[in-house]
Chains A and B, each alone.
Chain A
């Protein structure tokens, strides 16, 4: 960290700063929403087929109670699947993020909205995570760790891979980033 640097925030007056509630939020990748819908559909379909097989198979006669439950399950499960699909679609729509000069924000929630702001200066390390399906679809999750503890790990899901890499680069190249590490 060079002492001679001038800090650009210093020159701005408060009105010129973009306040948190006025930042332009970007939504997460559309592919991510589709992926979640797909996973949801596959999960409930498999569950439904398992139940159907249980109900129709001739080898193990089911007790009457259980067979009733299974029968009702055959219409309850698609219903639950539909509800979850609707919920996921809406909640994914509300997953937004924004970058400012010195911090990253992530907003989520339909009824209980929550906006987490992680200052870049306090980021200790960064992880880019990709599950097998995310790898197939070139999506990534970005995790930013601060000293706030494991409970407060900052995560943005459903980013395009190149977008996630750009954000990571932005954090790493930020002139204040990881200064705590260097001071150690």
Chain B
């Protein structure tokens, strides 16, 4: 990307104008003035504080910390509620003390939070008791995120989060910046990136197809947008309620007791309904079914709510070679990623997505910390297959995913899984039930076993792999189907595996490792597996392209 392209910047894009404040367009005309503006704004490298609205941000953070630390104290408090009612003075004292603590610590945190911008680095000093100093050069920054909690919205402040490839401690948060300033800073950081990138790899200047879009691209180009309807569909097909259930796990017992008590009051005796001594199996089955359905419905509602909460107003823009994702109902998140950081594209559909005709597409980046993997992705929830392939083509213009023929894996995959796992279980399970005088259960166990066998066959059926000169394509899944596509030069390591039993039929398993995780292709013909690895390595070593 050439600097000479920069002056052609002034055209503001249509879809973004309403979100772009007036000051922003002043920064836009040319990059250089943007930087000087920046330096002007921060008083030539003086330490300075963020806006006082950050107190609110810190207060919320402290409150969250307290809740996180003392969440297990909530149930006893509820139990002691009557006692507390008798002693309102003490409770009020405790509460106001807690409030005071939060307010004071928030103010102190705000007071000691200072940052300084100087030639190519951002420095942050923070911490009341244990001081922390962070110096982060712009060109080390992996990711820039803008986050807007709901209480920042009236005054249009944002929290700018700068991620590095390194650890969590390395991440910098500038907690309350005005949006125009944050945007300018972000732009400046991206420009620094561009400069270092172009200095570092002059050899890449021949790919003219990259520079061409750059002329137009200073304006943001809207790639995708999700409506509430899409998000509802996403909520239904992607039940992420398991997260919620996991969090609530400590309270299951109490919750179950409470619910049973409540149902008993209403006149439903759940344990009696499920007592085999009182009911026939058939009726119990029906009850179980309807209960499951009801719970599923409830969970789905939660999930829809969660989906709308996190993806409301979803937009995906492209600006030069940056992807920018904005979404969120309460806290608005803005995540941007450079195209060169993209490690692979995954298009996932489970069986419900298949029924509803939707795909979850994600642009996956480096996957340093597992728990932050979701934040590192740019996910486009529940797009139609057409939109998905348009997005894929936008990122990888020369990909052939839609037209390429997938090779299937060997049928021995089925036999291996059947003989090694399924068959022992299929013999031991029913026989042991039979021996324990449970012939009905033994007969019923055929259902899960048949389902498992079906899963094995479907797994085999879904597995497929292909490659062309530049990309690997992988297909896998059970009832749904996931597609992965990534450029060969993103490979980090390859593995070739062969067990004793695979050697005779000439099969192997290969594993392709990229910075966003590993993909395994089992039971491939030896020659094919070797070709996949060799050609990938060859492409990668020849291309000399950096992987990020």
Contacts and interface: CB of A to CB of B under 8 A. Distances in A.
Contacts of B537: 20, 102-103, 117, 119
Given A3-B203, A7-B542, A9-B542, A147 B139 contact: no
Given A9-B538, A20-B534, A147-B547, A184 B140 contact: yes
Nearest to A151: B518
B246 interface: no
Interface stretch (B288-296, B350-358, B497-505): B497-505
B186 to A, nearest CB: 19
Interface in A3-42: 3, 7, 9-10, 14, 17, 19-21
Contact of B139 (A114, A176, A184): A184
A149 to B, nearest CB: 7
Interface stretch (B65-73, B265-273, B375-383, B486-494): B486-494
B297 interface: no
Contacts of A182: 200
Residue from A14, A19, A122, A183 with most neighbouring chain B CB atoms (10 Å): A122
A102 B540 CA distance: 10
Given A1-B201, A21-B530, A148 B544 contact: no
Interface in B214-262: none
Contacts of B367: 149
Interface string B309-343: 00000000000000000000000000000000000
A1 B204 CA distance: 12
Q: Categorize the interface residue count of chain B.
A: 35 or more
Contacts of A121: 540-541, 544
A48 interface: no
A80 interface: no
B492 A117 contact: no
A7 B539 CA distance: 12
Given A3-B202, A179-B546, A183-B200, 10 more contacts: A1-B544, A7-B542, A10-B542, A103-B537, A112-B500, A115-B495, A115-B497, A146-B493, A152-B493, A152-B518
A176 to B, nearest CB: 7
Contact of B544 (A14, A17, A152, A176): A176
B496 interface: yes
Given A20-B496, A146-B493, A148-B513, A183 B201 contact: yes
Interface of A: 1, 3, 7, 9-10, 14, 17, 19-21, 102-103, 111-119, 121-122, 146-149, 151-152, 154, 176, 179-180, 182-184
B485 interface: no
Contact of B495 (A21, A103, A114, A179): A114
Contacts of B500: 111-112
3 smallest CB-CB distances across A and B, nearest first, come from A148-B492, A147-B515, A183-B200
Interface string B505-548: 00000000111011000000000001001100110111010111
Given A9-B542, A20-B533, A179-B546, A117 B201 contact: no
26 contacts: A9-B538, A10-B542, A14-B538, A17-B538, A19-B534, A20-B534, A21-B530, A113-B498, A116-B495, A117-B493, A119-B491, A119-B492, A119-B493, A121-B541, A121-B544, A122-B540, A147-B366, A147-B492, A147-B548, A148-B493, A148-B518, A149-B515, A180-B548, A184-B139, A184-B140, A184-B196
Nearest to B513: A148
B84 interface: no
Contacts, number: 110
A154 B537 CA distance: 16
Given A152-B493, A152-B513, A183-B196, A117 B533 contact: yes
* Residue from the set B494, B515, B517 with the largest chain A CB neighbour count within 10 Å: B494
A122 B530 contact: no
A116 B498 CA distance: 12
Nearest to B530: A21
Nearest to B140: A184
Contacts of B493: 116-119, 122, 146, 148, 152, 154
Contacts of A9: 538, 541-542
Contacts of B203: 1, 3
A19 B200 CA distance: 32
A114 B540 contact: no
Given A149-B367, A183-B200, A184-B139, A113 B547 contact: no
Contacts of B201: 1, 183
A110 B497 CA distance: 11
A183 B368 CA distance: 19
Contacts of B491: 119, 122
B197, B495, B533 pick with most chain A CB within 10 angstroms: B495
Contacts of A103: 537, 541
Contacts of A115: 495-497
Contacts of B530: 19-21
